[in-house]
Amino acid sequence: MGRIRNFFSGTRVESSPPPYLLEARSSKLFILATICIAVFTDIFLYGIIVPVIPFALSARAGVPESSVQSWVSVLLAVYGAALLVGSPIAGWYADNSSSRRLPLLIGLLMLAGSTVMLCLARSVALLIVGRILQGVSAAIVWTVGQALLVDTVGQAEIGETLGYVSLSMSLGILVAPLLGGLVYEKAGYYSVFYMAFGTLALDIVLRLVLIEKKIARQWLDDDVTEAETAAADAMPSQEQNTASTAEKKPEQGEPAPDAATVVDTPVTPVKHSKWPPLFTLLKSKRLVAALWGCVVQASLMTAFDSVIPLFVEETFGWDSVGAGLTFLAVMVPSFASPAVGWFSDRFGPRWLCVVGFIFAIPFWVLLRLVTHNTMGQKVLLMALLALIGISLTLVMPPLMAEITYIVEAKEKQSPGRFGKNGAYAQAYALFIMAFAAGTLIGPVWSGYVRDSAGWGTMSWSLGLFSLTGAIPCLIYTGGLITETNAKTAEERAINAPTAADSRRVETSEV
């Protein structure tokens, strides 16, 4: 029974033995692998059914062919809405629960349930409920998973770590529609879901096996404590001298100081914010700039979803497989995400974000030159898509790491303001909301502008939109640009104060 209570609560029952393979199951590598596979699974299960949704609506749910497109849009929209609404709730719950793993397991149940519903659904209502559960599951995986990684690796390595998460997301976006379309075409409807259940099974095993670092310390710290106790017993007792000195002070008319006052420097009083963490974070201009950057990046990344398949079919005569392979050019650069995150850890996120957004502008504009079916035009399209993919890769890992840097800065200004568990999950909930908003804006923007004004107008308008992401990042990312606060991740990790930090406390929250 003790092991069962440990499993669900994360709290050690007195005298309970350590879980099997505790050190391996709570290692940085295993936790990172589990979260990356969880993110990949979530994106994979989202994307793998996209090619089969029209069939499910017409052949299984009885929707008329004339209404299929409208219901496809509805199913995409309810997923985004569930992601938007579920993210702050999941973040609040994760920051106020004793264990990060418990909400991850709740999200896993929702993901499994949604997959079963989508597989068996023969009505529009059940398809909608399945997509809603899928969106809520995604909100939990992203917010709790990224907060767990911050708890595990610390600030010094968070950029590189989140680079692997970004890579997992890109892989899911890349392979899911391709495999979904190919398997559906060759093996049928249920074969798509057999593949989904296989991926889900691996995710289930890893999430059940995972043990958080803070939970593992309940057993691993025992060895340290015993060693410290033995060393203390072997040394002469200095506490008695301190106590006798403290007892003499009241006789001299002075109050007896607390032991912590004698040994330590003055401690900053804990000041809990009167505002919920979400609102406190949103008061930061620096965070708002990072969130806007996420909106722009996600919009640009998903803008191709609604236009590339139709464009390459009309221009080059390519089928759905050819259209899917076109996305390789955009997604392959994402394999460099861990390296980009490493660079962000060492040199800060500002210039990576700015260069990424600015670098993309000319290539978006040059897409207007792709107009007819020749080999040169095909090569030009793939080259421009690859260069845009590079620019998007430069932006995402630094922005994800910037969320962590902002929460750390807030905590340093007023220790304990977000409570004992901090506000990482809620901060990443805001990030997911911004990302979800971008995934709604991008396809609608590109599709509407292309239909109403043409491919060329769509391309230069998105290039202009990229510029709107660069300006706030230039001013605020990493701290206000006018302040000398460019620090490495190592300095941030040990909370090394700078003049900029002091000014920020005394002035406004940036």
Mean pLDDT score, 417-445: 80
CA distance 154 to 59: 50
Per-residue pLDDT band at 389 (split at 50, 70, 90): very high
Q: What pLDDT does 239 receive? A: 44
Top-confidence residue, 10 or 257: 10
Q: How many residues does the chain have?
A: 510
Per-residue pLDDT band at 435 (split at 50, 70, 90): confident
List, in order, residues 6 or more apart from 228 with CB less than 8 Å away.
none
Q: What pLDDT does 7 receive? A: 58
Domain boundaries, the chain: 21-219, 274-510
Top-confidence residue, 227 or 314: 314
Q: Judging by beta carbons within 10 Å of its beta carbon (0-12, 13-18, 19+), is residue 266 exposed, middle or buried?
A: exposed
Mean pLDDT score, 81-97: 83
How is domain 21-219 classified at the architecture level of CATH? Up-down Bundle (1.20)
57 alpha-carbon distance from chain centroid: 31
Helix (H, G, I), strand (E, B) or coil at 386: helix
pLDDT at 430 over 50: yes
Are 38 and 171 in contact by the 8 Å Cβ rule? The answer is no
Are 216 and 22 in contact by the 8 Å Cβ rule? The answer is yes
Are 112 and 129 in contact by the 8 Å Cβ rule? The answer is no
Q: What pLDDT does 490 receive? A: 44
Nearest to 478 by CA among 334, 344, 321: 344
List, in order, residues 6 or more apart from 280 with CB less than 8 Å away.
273, 410, 417, 418, 423
Q: What pLDDT does 282 receive? A: 81
Top-confidence residue, 327 or 134: 134
pTM for this predicted structure = 0.72
List, in order, residues 6 or more apart from 322 with CB less than 8 Å away.
312, 316
What's the CA dihedral at 15, 20, 25, 27 to 10 degrees?
70
**What is the topology classification, in CATH, of domain 274-510?**
Growth Hormone; Chain: A; (1.20.1250)
3-state percent breakdown (helix, strand, coil) of the chain, nearest 5: 80, 0, 20
DSSP 247-290: HHTGGGT-PPPPHHHHHSPPPPPP---SS-HHHHHHT-HHHHHH
What's the CA dihedral at 215, 219, 221, 227 to 10 degrees?
180
Are 424 and 151 in contact by the 8 Å Cβ rule? The answer is yes
Triad 294, 296, 302: Cα angle to 5°: 95
Q: What pLDDT does 9 receive? A: 56
- Largest interatomic CA distance in the chain: 97
Give one word for 268, left, alpha or beta, with left for phi > 0 and alpha for psi -120 to 50. beta
Nearest to 331 by CA among 351, 306, 305, 354: 305
Cα–Cα separations (whole angstroms), residue 33 to 39, 45, 78, 118, 435: 10, 18, 29, 27, 22
pLDDT tens across 214-243, in order? Answer: 777 777 765 544 444 444 454 444 444 444
CA distance 289 to 27: 34
DSSP 440-462: HHHHHHHHHHHHHH-HHHHHHHH
Per-residue pLDDT band at 12 (split at 50, 70, 90): low
pLDDT tens across 362-376, in order? Answer: 999 999 999 988 999
Residue 329 sits at φ, ψ, to 5 deg, of: -60, -35
Are 509 and 407 in contact by the 8 Å Cβ rule? The answer is no
pLDDT tens across 445-503, in order? Answer: 888 888 888 899 999 999 999 999 999 999 988 887 776 554 544 444 444 443 334 33
What amino acid is encoded at 169 in this protein? M
Mean pLDDT score, 434-443: 84
Mean pLDDT score, 300-314: 82
Q: What pLDDT does 5 receive? A: 57
pLDDT at 27 over 60: yes
Neighbour tally for 264: CB within 10 Å:
9
Triad 129, 132, 136: Cα angle to 5°: 140
